[in-house]
A and B are shown apart, each in its own frame.
Chain A
């Protein structure tokens, strides 16, 4: 300036930036409400999926953790079993001695946990009792020693508790407030629980607030003295754990002493949090799975943002140039565009939070169903959204916006002012370098293939996840080249009397920058949909085949609690004998399934009558060996004297997790020393992701006598000419009325397996719905943008005589092109993705081999669905194009 002004102070700079932001960025965004809301919606959808997915898993995890009760309020150490689910109460004696030695500065609190099912009282004596699906946790604590009082809080207004009752009578219990309220229980009420296989009548002595010990399982609990609970659960002499309170000052002197008195191979001393950590590692891979899936939604969100901002920035280029010409610093413009993207991201994210909460209500049920199907003891508590999650979701939403906005804004800011201020006609349109992108895409795909062959890290298939993302991105990058060349090739073969096709093809390939990204985002979501469908479809048919081929038994009998949550509930030996005595029964394999850990990872130790299994049963071995030959070997090895190496069979997930093959050795600790085993066979199994090790039960009993009277299920083989149903009916007749068993025929068992399977995959169905929604949103978004962008061209077509329906055909043809490239590409990429999902991700995280099955029907349906969706989505933009005034459109630039 000629009259020298002071350079602006920083306040003035901020003022200027703020003014420009309001007047330029904000008003521009508001001037195109459609486009802005589509951008915002793209972000919102991504954020919503991330929020809902994670909150759902989080809630399920929390419900899982709620099962972990702190009996002695402030306990800081605990003694837990490592090899099998329970401890021998013999461990208590030295511990109590220690307690006495320290003048009770160290406090000891033994606990036994189990489960029962609520049984509704029958109104009519002749009517059979039926258990409900309502799981009640049963907690045995040492009430004599009275260590628990500090964590006991009575519900207000109760008469003083008659402690004496609790010790004297085997059926007097305290109940948690939640359970009491739900069933209207008061002091003195009588009720029944199905524990193991027996309906047990119980009476309420007191009601506990849902805090401390009374808060176990969210207050859905029954608490009694150990002496009452041990026989009730058929766990005489057993404990789940011993909680300890060791004052900090004494830890150094007392902990080594405790360790000394404990049988180190089967018991460990650890802080209570450790149990929680184990739960977390258990759920880790599941959670990573879901997070990885939900991040694909964000990827699509980034595509949508890229797409719309591309349009926005092309429009703004002359404005940017003008601002540069009048001396606006480039830095300021960068800041303004960044702020605008951030604001869009923020609004989208906040909207996404709301949307996510809506989704969550549907999704959390799916997730907890899935978790319940996979893991033991997951309750379904209320929804819990960890306080950090919304912030992370918003952060991710904004980050996604930045990613999507990066290239369009970078390109816009690279504007040459001289170029942009030239008259519109003389502007050179930026051409997409399709070959460059094709090469980049090729590189990505090659890397994806390489990564797919890398092993999992710590049980988590990181490389596999990256491979999926690279495959999606790589294919997206190849798309512009494919579209360009396909259109060139398509042009001459379309009927000449379709006058609208040249225009549609020209508009479509003319805006390749935009149409290719739109096709890419449709492709990504369709690929997600298709790959999940293929995964589930193939998986389901493998499971079906497996269920048909592996004959477990003619009848399968187990306690209801065991059926509902694997691990809970026992069959007594008397019940097994009763079953054996029924006419028509050829053999009964009484099986015991124990939750145990091997090398720090949970697995299921199965103890069975393998001699019977060799004769009647059937499983499929990975190497194709016949069941009888493998099992006979195992049975023979079991007859060796003590300290030999015995045989075991392991399921595929167990073998995969511990890198075992046939012939490898494994060692299981037992109370009477190590049990050394050779893997005699690896068999296909889809029942447990944790994996099984199965050994003859007679063998195990030699090492751990405490398991002799315990059974979790009984497989019944009926005589050749007798039907399973006849035996079932006979069995029900001899069963006393207070005995309730789940008895399933082979057929029912198969159905049950498939039901559990569908539960396991409940969450993937939700993902499919989300993928479809995103695909449709993209189509809608793109067509609106295309129509708005090509107003001038469409108007010119009208001027040269195109009729309304032909204009509509131009727009709808573009919709179909979008469906063709996005849908077709999505189906192809989806197949590639399915290969990674099935052979890499699924195998590495669960250890299940599933042969992939391609389905033409699915492909056809998907393609038709996308085409139909595109036509529907294209309808309103087409109408807009038809109705638009020629003059207005021509003047619009």
Chain B
């Protein structure tokens, strides 16, 4: 039965997803586990099912068969309210297109997860300012997201994903829409901030270079896990 290993954050068992009966399954019986605090990269050609897998891990979608356990709980069994609580407390998301709310200022955007968790407005803003400082966005706190560059928006999005200290951050091609310098900067803060608080990350990416900076590489092809390879953690070098 489940969670025999206490350091396993995620246990994926025989996970399959088929959107349409007329088409082949997008994910075919995928199984793997992810340890607490690890940084996993997910690679594979376009359309191989990376986003689908991330969405299933974040319970944005329901699997056709198989289970995802996070901290021992089967997330597809959650009620709507439990799901909201799960995302609120245990998850963070980073998307290719940033998905910041355009009418909220950067500060308001990144404070939102704290407010959802019952932190007072005052305290949330203070914490958020602190985080924005860490990613070099203090001067943009009051700005509206559309006024920011892509890299800046994505750094704010990373803060939003991490600020409430979730167990897990799911990042779907976070640098896919950025030039390589901005991408590198986003990668750096993602890695550092997550490491500092022990948050696990699963990141879909097309960049071998970025993937090599992670602890472990999962490679998907046509919905099947074809490679699962531990890598040498590099964040210590970056810090130095």
Contacts and interface: CB of A to CB of B under 8 A. Distances in A.
A and B bind: yes
A423 B96 contact: yes
A416 B84 contact: no
Contacts, number: 104
Interface residues of B, number: 46
A101 interface: no
B120 A12 contact: yes
A424 B89 CA distance: 28
B2 interface: no
Contacts of B85: 327
B198 A5 contact: no
A1 B165 contact: yes
A97 B235 CA distance: 114
B117 interface: yes
Nearest to A4: B89
Nearest to B81: A329
Given A1-B90, A8-B118, A326-B160, A23 B165 contact: no
Contacts of A424: 97
Contacts of B197: 2
B101 A16 contact: no
Nearest to B51: A422
B61 A421 contact: no
A325 B61 CA distance: 11
A421 B89 contact: no
Interface string B186-197: 000000000001
Interface string A398-426: 00000000000000000011100111100
Contacts of B164: 1
Given A416-B61, A417-B60, A418-B55, A326 B88 contact: yes
B91 A327 contact: yes
A27 interface: yes
A9 B120 CA distance: 10
Contacts of B103: 23-24, 27-28, 31
Interface in A5-33: 5-9, 12, 15-16, 19-20, 23-24, 27-28, 31
Nearest to B160: A326
Given A325-B58, A418-B60, A23 B108 contact: yes
A317 to B, nearest CB: 11
B165 A15 contact: no
B208 interface: no
B135 interface: no
A510 B120 CA distance: 46
Given A329-B84, A416-B61, A421-B95, A1 B198 contact: no
Nearest to A420: B99
A168 B51 CA distance: 106
Interface string A308-345: 00000000001101111111111000000000000000
Contacts of A721: none
Contacts of A9: 118
B113 interface: yes
B166 interface: yes
Contacts of A329: 81, 84
Contact of B165 (A3, A12, A319, A416): A3
B165 A327 contact: no
B14 interface: no
B136 interface: no
B214 to A, nearest CB: 21
B87 A325 contact: yes
B87 A12 contact: no
B119 interface: yes
Given A23-B104, A423-B97, A326 B112 contact: yes
Interface in B92-138: 92-93, 95-97, 99-105, 108, 112-113, 115-121
Contact of B198 (A2, A6, A19, A23): A2
Given A326-B160, A423-B96, A2 B167 contact: yes
Contacts of B108: 19, 23
A5 B117 contact: yes
A113 to B, nearest CB: 66
B84 A19 contact: no
Nearest to A8: B118
Contacts of A31: 102-103
A330 B118 contact: no
B233 to A, nearest CB: 20
A149 B182 CA distance: 95
A16 to B, nearest CB: 5
B195 to A, nearest CB: 13
A319 B103 CA distance: 10
B95 A326 contact: no
A859 B163 CA distance: 65
A327 B120 contact: no
A327 B116 contact: yes
B93 A416 contact: no
B23 interface: no
B209 interface: no
A114 to B, nearest CB: 70
Contacts of B112: 20, 326
Contacts of A23: 101, 103-105, 108
A6 B113 contact: no
A421 B60 CA distance: 10
Interface string B140-177: 00000000000000000000100011110000100000
Contact of B116 (A24, A328, A418, A422): A328
B116 A1 contact: no
Nearest to B111: A19
A1 B166 contact: yes
Interface in A456-473: none
B80 interface: yes
Given A1-B166, A24-B101, A421-B95, A327 B88 contact: yes
A421 B112 CA distance: 18
B55 to A, nearest CB: 4
Interface in B70-86: 80-81, 84-86
B222 to A, nearest CB: 19
Contacts of B99: 318, 321-322, 325, 421
A3 to B, nearest CB: 6
B118 A327 contact: no
Contacts of B198: 2
Given A5-B118, A321-B99, 17 more contacts: A1-B90, A7-B118, A8-B118, A15-B121, A16-B116, A24-B101, A27-B103, A324-B84, A325-B99, A326-B87, A327-B84, A327-B91, A327-B116, A418-B61, A421-B93, A421-B97, A421-B99
Interface of B: 51, 55, 58, 60-61, 80-81, 84-93, 95-97, 99-105, 108, 112-113, 115-121, 160, 164-167, 172, 197-199
15 contacts: A1-B166, A2-B167, A2-B198, A8-B117, A8-B118, A27-B104, A319-B102, A322-B101, A326-B87, A326-B88, A326-B113, A329-B84, A330-B84, A421-B172, A423-B97
4 tightest CB-CB pairs across the interface, nearest first?
A: A327-B88, A8-B118, A327-B87, A27-B103
